Amino acid sequence: MVEDDDPHGFFVPKALRGVKDVIHTSIPIHFHLNQFIDTLPFQRLRDIKQLGTSSYVWPSASHTRFEHCLGVAYLARCLASHLQTNQPSLKITNRDVGHVWDSIFMPKAIKGCEWQHERGSEMMFDYIVKNYKIPLSDKDVRFVKALIAGDPTQCDASEKPFLFDIIANKRNGLDVDKFDYIQRDSHMTGTSFSFEATRIVKSARVLDNQICYNIKDANQIYEICLRRFGLHKNIYNHKTARAIEYMIVDALLLAEPHMKIAERVYDPERFLYLNDYILNEIERSKDPELEASRQLIKRFRHRELYREVVWKAVEFTSKKAIQDYITSERIMEKAQKTVDEEGSEEPFDLTADDIIVDVTTMHYGMKERNPVDFTKFYSKKHPDKPMHAGPGDYSGLRPSIHAEILLRIYTKKPEYFGRVYDAYNAVLVDMSEEFSAGADTVPNTPTLASARTPDASSFETLPRTPGADAGDAGTGAEQKKKRAFGRSNSAMMSKNHFADVDRGYRHESPSASTRRMSTGGVAVAVVGDPSAIAVVTTFQPTADFSQLFEDGTEGAIIDAAPSRLKRGREDELQPPIEGIEVKRRKESAK
């Protein structure tokens, strides 16, 4: 246990060593911190990227959770030290500060695992205390676990409640974890957002058993919350990063029956080696059971990704309606219906599992609420009087709802890009009709036979703009239908014209296009039947295309330009030339 007079205590000026840091310049490491850093669980964080798949979009964002944890530890120490020095009446001890730091590491060690988060944190904490013989009493252990959970009720009532605002602030979301990652992630992605974390730390005072800040820093604190939203919107949830994340999850699911990855999280000894290198473990394996997983990993290594078909920013209040109504099953049902109506004999192997409906909530830190509304401030003239910031105390340029929903539709098979987009829009049409009619139920789907759609009146609508209907096209009945569910819901169910493509559009990644152009592409037609056109691309320039026709039917090369094959636009190919047989031919890139 760390006592106040411990010669190796947290506040001893002389550090055992220092760590260079790109954000905080230099981080001193003292004896108590060193006990935790030099353990296998903490060193494991060197092998886990802080931003996960974001490094596939921003290559420089390859920093790990190891340096983030050190940064959070440093800021926590600064904040606790500042409070102890400037408010001696709080009676903050070395024990308090030391255990505040203990609680930082544990959630980071298992971040990303949705399985009983608190249970996993406690498992790893107990592992360190036991295996590294950290001298902690039962009371101290309960205190650290309570800090991890952010719940003061899990420890003795004598513990100082304001300490829970430092690490995992459930009151307003403002804590040193955010102060570090907002700066660090911004810097490493080249989208720098600078603020003086030490200034915010030195602004802190404990009043009414909670951490308050100087009112002159209210705008800066709001900007920190705004930046958090920006990082989630533009960096963490980037369309490509999300696509790769889905591919990695699918690869792990394919490997799970053979590798039993999920079981490792319950065993601390095995969990220590569960990190980003799990993909390399799969790739190195020669086990036939992992072939499907290896092929999927190879696919995203080659940048042949799941593709975002369409996106839409939606009102936060519409989240449940989207989740209930826009499903992969319903989109698949519409796509299949279109194929059946066309009577096409072409193979159609799209399934509901090949369609991803991604619904992401992005906010300032407190869902739809403004975190500043839950933060108290003081002023220089009234340093001991905590108050909430009111109108005029800081900028009034802020939204009424501090959250929104980002809806994205992905396809795992880019060749059906256009069909998925067309089917999604068909679902929107049905959704609009259901809401405008005030129906209580939504149409049956294979998996949502009894799903219910919230009534349109349950949505919060925006005030109408005078004359907004004047320029709208459509009949009076259509105008009435639009007004029935308000402007915000009308936008939710409207078509995204920026993503508009034809039903036959087939997306091709730039890397795949480059490889194909360098090796050639060939369009082949059956001689004597100009309507029977088969479009073929190949990565083997010397392929014998006569093998395409098992019955020996002659064919002709009618177009070797890769650009003509990019979208599979067979209708634009010139008629075949009679009497020219298909032969070996290497196509030049154009």
In order of their start, the domains of the chain are: 17-237 (1.10.3210.10), 510-572 (no CATH)
- Mean pLDDT by runs of 10 across the 590 residues of the chain is 41 73 93 86 91 95 94 91 92 63 38 54 85 90 84 90 91 94 96 88 96 97 97 96 94 93 87 91 97 96 96 93 95 96 90 97 96 97 96 93 97 96 96 73 38 34 34 43 47 85 86 61 47 45 43 45 38 41 37
- pLDDT at 70 (0 to 100): 93
Instruction: Identify the DSSP state of 235.
Output: I
- pLDDT at 194 (0 to 100): 81
- pLDDT at 509 (0 to 100): 76
User: What is the rounded CA–CA span in Å between residue 104 and residue 93?
Assistant: 18
User: What is the rounded CA–CA span in Å between residue 212 and residue 376?
Assistant: 5
Cβ-based burial of 208 (10 A; exposed 0-12, middle 13-18, buried ≥19): exposed
User: What is the rounded CA–CA span in Å between residue 214 and residue 462?
Assistant: 34
What is the longest distance spanned by two Cα atoms in the chain?
Answer: 98
- pLDDT at 491 (0 to 100): 66
Residues near 346 by beta carbon (within 8 Å), at least 6 away in sequence: none
Instruction: Please give the backbone phi and psi of residue 211, each rounded to the nearest 5 degrees, phi first.
Output: -80, 125
DSSP per residue, 10-68: TT-SS-SEEEEETTTEEEEE-HHHHHHHTSHHHHGGGGSBTTGGGGGTSTT---BHHHH
- pLDDT at 515 (0 to 100): 64
Query: Is the distance from CB of 21 to CB of 67 less than 8 angstroms?
Result: yes
The secondary structure of 499-527, three-state, reads: HCCCCCCCCCCHHHHHHHHHHCEEEEEEC
Q: Would you say the C-alpha torsion 154, 159, 164, 170 has a positive or negative sign? A: positive
User: What is the rounded CA–CA span in Å between residue 4 and residue 423?
Assistant: 67
Query: Is the distance from CB of 93 to CB of 4 less than 8 angstroms?
Result: yes
Q: Which of 185, 154, 206 is nearest to 383 (CA)?
A: 206
- pLDDT at 115 (0 to 100): 53
User: What is the rounded CA–CA span in Å between residue 96 and residue 139?
Assistant: 12
Query: Is the distance from CB of 435 to CB of 424 less than 8 angstroms?
Result: no
- pLDDT at 269 (0 to 100): 92
- pLDDT at 116 (0 to 100): 55
Tell me the helices (H) and strands (E) count for the chain, helix number first.
21, 12
Q: For strand 533-537 and strand 521-526, is the pairing parallel, antiparallel, or unpaired? A: antiparallel
User: What is the rounded CA–CA span in Å between residue 41 and residue 109?
Assistant: 7
> For the whole model, what pTM was predicted?
0.77
User: What is the rounded CA–CA span in Å between residue 526 and residue 581?
Assistant: 10
User: What is the rounded CA–CA span in Å between residue 19 and residue 187?
Assistant: 18
User: What is the rounded CA–CA span in Å between residue 285 and residue 291?
Assistant: 9
User: What is the rounded CA–CA span in Å between residue 507 and residue 417?
Assistant: 6
User: What is the rounded CA–CA span in Å between residue 416 and residue 99?
Assistant: 54
Instruction: Identify the DSSP state of 170.
Output: T
- pLDDT at 344 (0 to 100): 82
- pLDDT at 489 (0 to 100): 61
Amino acid at 483: R
Query: Is the distance from CB of 555 to CB of 527 less than 8 angstroms?
Result: yes
- H or E element in which residue 249 lies: helix 239-259
| Helix, coil or strand: residue 162 | helix
21, β-bridge pairs:
25
378, β-bridge pairs:
214
Question: What dihedral angle (degrees, nearest 10) is formed by the CA atoms of 263, 55, 246, 362?
Answer: 100
Query: Going along 177-285, which residue ranges are E strands?
Result: 205-207, 210-214
User: What is the rounded CA–CA span in Å between residue 107 and residue 168?
Assistant: 10
Query: Is the distance from CB of 548 to CB of 535 less than 8 angstroms?
Result: no
Q: What residues act catalytically?
A: 117
Cβ-based burial of 345 (10 A; exposed 0-12, middle 13-18, buried ≥19): exposed
27, β-bridge pairs:
19
User: What is the rounded CA–CA span in Å between residue 352 and residue 372?
Assistant: 42
Q: Which of 233, 237, 226, 404 is nearest to 315 (CA)?
A: 404
- pLDDT at 420 (0 to 100): 97
